[in-house]
Amino acid sequence: MNVVNIGLIGAGTVGCGVIKVLGQNLDIIEKRTGIRIELKRIADIDPDRKRPVDIPKSLFTTDARELLDDSSISIVIELVGGTTVAKDIILGAIDKGKNVVTANKALLAHYGKELFAAARRKGVNIGFEASVGGGIPIIKAIKEGFVANKIISIHGIMNGTSNYILSRMTEEGKEFDDVLRQAQIEGYAEADPSFDIDGIDAAHKLSILIMLSFGIFLDFKKIYVEGIREITPIDISFADELGYKIKLLAIAKSKDGGIEAGVYPTLVQKETQIADVSGVFNAIYIVGDSVGPTMLYGMGAGMMPTASAVLSDVVQIAKNMETGDSHTSLPKLYNNKNSSFLIPMSEITTKYYLRFQVEDRPGVLGQITGCLGQNNISIESVIQKGRHLGGGEVPVVMMTHDAKERDLLSSLKAIDSLQVVKSKSIFIRIEEL
Amino acid sequence: MNVVNIGLIGAGTVGCGVIKVLGQNLDIIEKRTGIRIELKRIADIDPDRKRPVDIPKSLFTTDARELLDDSSISIVIELVGGTTVAKDIILGAIDKGKNVVTANKALLAHYGKELFAAARRKGVNIGFEASVGGGIPIIKAIKEGFVANKIISIHGIMNGTSNYILSRMTEEGKEFDDVLRQAQIEGYAEADPSFDIDGIDAAHKLSILIMLSFGIFLDFKKIYVEGIREITPIDISFADELGYKIKLLAIAKSKDGGIEAGVYPTLVQKETQIADVSGVFNAIYIVGDSVGPTMLYGMGAGMMPTASAVLSDVVQIAKNMETGDSHTSLPKLYNNKNSSFLIPMSEITTKYYLRFQVEDRPGVLGQITGCLGQNNISIESVIQKGRHLGGGEVPVVMMTHDAKERDLLSSLKAIDSLQVVKSKSIFIRIEEL
């Protein structure tokens, strides 16, 4: 039997999950792998806080350095979060020759390159399965399962809060603000929800999947990110009428030697698997050149699912240690292309959903289609409703054929300056899966 | 750079896929892993057959022993299929100290215990990701991703042919025989389709997932298997009316220290993720005690997806070899319970869809519900249609509450002996996911 001592830094929700899962499943892990995991020490700034699991007080310290200095601990689990203290902890652990397991997507998105380089130098591993998709084994799937594939595209629902809000807006026809407030009360959204609803969290995760799929760490600031604050029930309802749902997707597509990448709301056809991913669930739809289309689905967050992923990393590293290999599974950054690898959003080509708020009188449609036509944008379908005799404002909804985003933005600029157009025009990209 | 020589035995569809994927992606595999895979030799009884890839004739031999005797080859890919020659090849390769990669579910279902034991003795590995779910990395997910979970249940659509036939019957309202014939013409079903449509192939795969999830190789003959030949458009249509689809599922559930396991057609609610898995796609829905509900979806068969899985095993084994560990990833059979671990079907409890063909006259419903009631079966809903005045035969459809299968069979025996019942009553189990 191979005993592996681990230390846990950060005994919050996921940390308590790790302790709980170990309590439940230590024996079956040992039966399956021959590895016995011993939780040796826990560092947390508040040992006395009420927690959902019983933890012997003697395990606690308030000083993370105690764990790093404990030579019997070979794997440190970092669940502090954020990009400051957590970074110091991980670099400190690596420096002491310890392996690291982390769920910290923000940290990896910003400093992954540096952290992996440090780990490689020291010959230790960093496990980060829990950083994307909670309990879904997506890191392992891309890194190992699809290793013989060129990745063609990734479409991920990777933020449970946003998906929960959009799902409820769709089911209940309510405004964004109302659903957000409700989600906050129910604990599905943070008091400061920006990371989730503005797409930043999903972009962190996307940058990790891009690293694994394309061998490059993109400058995080260059990834296009657009959240769901501007999504309205009226657009959800028009999308529904057209056969679509609105989902916040994290997208990366291989195109002409580069990639298109971004996080933004999209229309996806109702019959697609990803359109059915509701509530707090996550799913990552990946197309590889040999495996074809695949999707992995599950709970993208939460105490127990995330702990499941953390412990799968612990076991994997413990196995590697057994054979004297603690770092060959570090991802390789083999792609030497510079940031030109990322195709600017202005250059992408896709279909668009457009909504214009216009004066309700003859000739308006002609003016709009004129602006679109002048910019090489052709229209696939139009919905025009609520026409009354006389004045008033009515929505006009269009779906375009494939168009270049630069052209679309030019046409919208022209359209928004028309006298008959009463407010800023709405565009939402359409993804065909 | 680490060069690994491989030998391929069986250059059929999947074998050609392996050659094709290597042609396309050898370089990216090397960039990602530092491993260069060299296809050293191919054994096939017919080197001259027309194939979808160009293969240098010099690679071919008709004698598999040549590969086994080639000491430069460290991994043998067995894609012969069947349970006779393939078994000899794999045992022969193991005996020579070679690692094995196989897609052969039938062989593993019948002789897995023996093959893994032989590999363990020799210190070599057997990779079998391609044996279940084609390109879907389900073996890796269960074995590594969910290692910290007790598996609560598995519901798999694991046979593309059956799912394709049921999907078309559902979409087109056609009879089983017509759709099967069409599927055979289109190449979606074999000339002898029995393995697929009678559930045997899915049961082979289920036994492998049970081995990984519960640490036991069940006696394959003891797994309950029922195919889709008896499914009719009328039952698909009634199921639809009740909010369900009919799917052939491979099921394993942890219950009271044992497991319920079997392959059979089931009613699943339309809103579930698995109900939307159409055509030749596969999906495996797994619930773990920490990860919660998950689903992996993708192409369950075919040249390229299966090759993707075969090569992921080759790379994994090559990595293990690099560190001198070629066998710790062999699954452990830690479960010492005997075949009593498998709960007999007569003891399972579930809801049932029932269809009776009865004489169209008063009192019939009372006779049927009487028989059910006497056997502790209570009814959730009834559909009775097509009532005419006078005689004639009409269908009566019922959904039961949870009932024990033994009780259900007793009641159906009584019902089928009633004079008013005109043909053998139909029952289909309902799965709530």
pLDDT digit string (tens) for A222-246?
999 999 999 999 999 999 999 999 9
Q: What is the DSSP letter of A42?
A: E
Per-residue model confidence (pLDDT) at position B35: 95
Whether residue A337 is predicted with pLDDT greater than 90 in this model: the reply is: no
Nearest CA in chain B to A331: B32
Residues of A in contact with B137 (CB under 8 A): 137, 140-141, 144-146
Q: What is the pLDDT of residues A413-432, one digit of tens each?
A: 999 999 999 999 999 999 99
The whole-angstrom separation of Cα B259 and Cα B112 is 19
Query: Does the pLDDT of residue A169 top 60, yes or no?
Result: yes
With beta carbons under 8 A apart, name residues in chain B contacting A328.
34, 319, 322-323
pLDDT tens-digit profile of B127-160?
999 999 999 999 999 999 999 999 999 999 999 9
Do residues B352 and B242 touch, judged by C-beta distance below 8 A? no
Gap between the Cα atoms of A163 and A156, Å rounded: 11
> For A76-89, how does the pLDDT look when each residue is reduced to its tens digit (9 = 90+)?
999 999 999 999 99
Q: Is B123 on the interface with A (CB under 8 A)?
A: no
The Cα–Cα gap between A427 and A352 comes to: 6
**Selected residues 322-381 of chain A with any CB under 8 Å from a CB in chain B:** 322-325, 328-329, 331-332, 334
Residue A131 CB contacts under 8 Å (≥ 6 apart), including other chains: A102, A103, A104, A105, A108, A139, A205, A208
Smallest Cα–Cα separation from B44: which of B5, B75, B13, B71?
A: B13
* pLDDT tens per residue across span A108-157: 999 999 999 999 999 999 999 999 999 999 999 999 999 999 999 999 99
Minimal Cα distance from A216: which residue of B?
Answer: B32
Q: Is it the case that residue A323 has pLDDT exceeding 90?
A: no
| B433/B423 Cα distance (integer angstroms) | 31
Q: Which amino acid would we find at residue B351?
A: K
How many alpha carbons lie under 13 Å from residue B417 in its C-beta half-sphere? Answer: 6
**Between helices A200-214 and A105-122, what is the axis angle to 10°?**
30
Cβ-count burial of A204 within 10 angstroms (0-12 exposed, 13-18 middle, 19+ buried)?
Answer: buried
Phi-psi region of A390 (alpha: psi -120 to 50; beta: other; left: phi over 0): left
Option in B25, B299, B323 nearest A150 (CB): B25
**What distance in Å separates the CA atoms of residue B286 and residue A74, rounded to the nearest whole number?**
31
Q: Look at residue A22 and tell me whether its pLDDT is greater than 70.
A: yes
pLDDT of residue A107: 98
Listed in sequence order, the residues at least 6 apart from A222 whose beta carbon sits closer than 8 Å to its beta carbon are A339, A342
- Report whether B216 contacts B210 (CB < 8 A): yes
Name the residue among B277, B291, B319 with its Cβ closest to that of A308: B291
**Mean pLDDT (whole number) for A247-266:** 96
b/e B338-374 (16+ beta carbons within 10 angstroms → b): eeebbbebeebebebbbbbbbbbeeebeebbbebbee
- Give catalytic residues of A, as residue numbers: 205
State the maximum Cα–Cα separation within chain A, in Å, rounded to a whole number. Answer: 83
Instruction: Identify which of B140, B299, B328 has the shortest CB distance to residue A145.
Output: B140
Query: Is B319 an 8 Å CB contact of chain A?
Result: yes
Q: Do A294 and B290 touch (CB under 8 A)?
A: no
Q: What is the ipTM of this complex?
A: 0.96
| Mean pLDDT, rounded, of chain A | 95
CA angle (B126, B131, B136) in 5-degree steps: 110
In chain A, residues with a C-beta closer than 8 Å to the C-beta of B28 are 150
Q: What is the Cα–Cα distance from A156 to A282, expressed in whole angstroms?
A: 7
What is the Cα–Cα distance from B402 to B379, expressed in whole angstroms?
A: 9
| pLDDT higher than threshold 80 for residue B105 | yes
Q: Per-residue confidence at A327, pLDDT binned at 50, 70, 90? A: low
Q: Which two tokens stand for residue B389?
A: 């005045």
Phi, psi of B224 (to 5 degrees): -70, 130
Ramachandran assignment for B63, one of left (phi > 0), alpha (psi -120 to 50 degrees), beta (any other): beta
Q: Please, which pLDDT band fits residue A326 given cuts at 50, 70 and 90?
A: low
Q: What is the spatial distance between Cα B158 and Cα B249, in angstroms, rounded to a whole number?
A: 7
Q: Which helix (H) or strand (E) holds A399?
A: strand A393-400
Q: At what angle do helices B105-122 and B85-95 cross, to 10 degrees?
A: 20
B205 part of the active site: yes
- d(C-alpha A130, C-alpha A117), whole Å: 20
d(CA B247, CA B156) in angstroms, rounded, equals 10
